[in-house]
Amino acid sequence: RWDSPMFTILPESTPAFEDIFGALYLRKPPPPNQSTQNQPLAPTNFLYELDRTTQDVVSCIMSAQKTQVDGDSIKVPNTTELVSLGRKVSLADLTRARRQYITYTKMHPVEDTARLTTLFVQYLNSTLG
């Protein structure tokens, strides 16, 4: 916590310098958490790749839904994962899911941009399937 340890120093008292020194310099540091960890560095073109990859998957799904029967799995380029939605999905639903995925992935970037397609397909299967 931010107030631990807390030392109260009154004008008429003598500060406990040894205790303060020990609390600041001799104590074991707290374990790292999300607020103190650095975000992994993403490649400079990460957002472009993320946007392009997700848009390609959405376009592929929309064009495949025109010719396939409801419930068929859809093969997407650049991944072995199949999109299994079980029903026809509207462009609005896909766009909403795409936006949510992009927001999440911006906060938690992937080191290997080649996996973006696979991860997006898995996300679609879990949220829309």
Question: DSSP label at 13?
Answer: S
For residue 127, what pLDDT is reported? 92
Number of independent structural domains in the chain: 1
pTM over 0.75: no
- Residue range 97-119: mean pLDDT, rounded: 91
* 22 within some domain: no
Q: What are phi and psi of 47, to 5 degrees?
A: -65, -35
> Residue 48 is which amino acid?
Y
* 9 within some domain: no
For the cut 80, the answer to whether the pLDDT of residue 95 exceeds it is yes
For the cut 80, the answer to whether the pLDDT of residue 58 exceeds it is yes
Please state, in angstroms and rounded to a whole number, the distance separating the CA atoms of residues 48 and 99: 14
- Residue range 36-62: mean pLDDT, rounded: 85
**Domain membership of residue 104 as a residue range:** 46-128
- Closest by Cα among 70, 47, 77 to 129: 70
For residue 76, what pLDDT is reported? 92
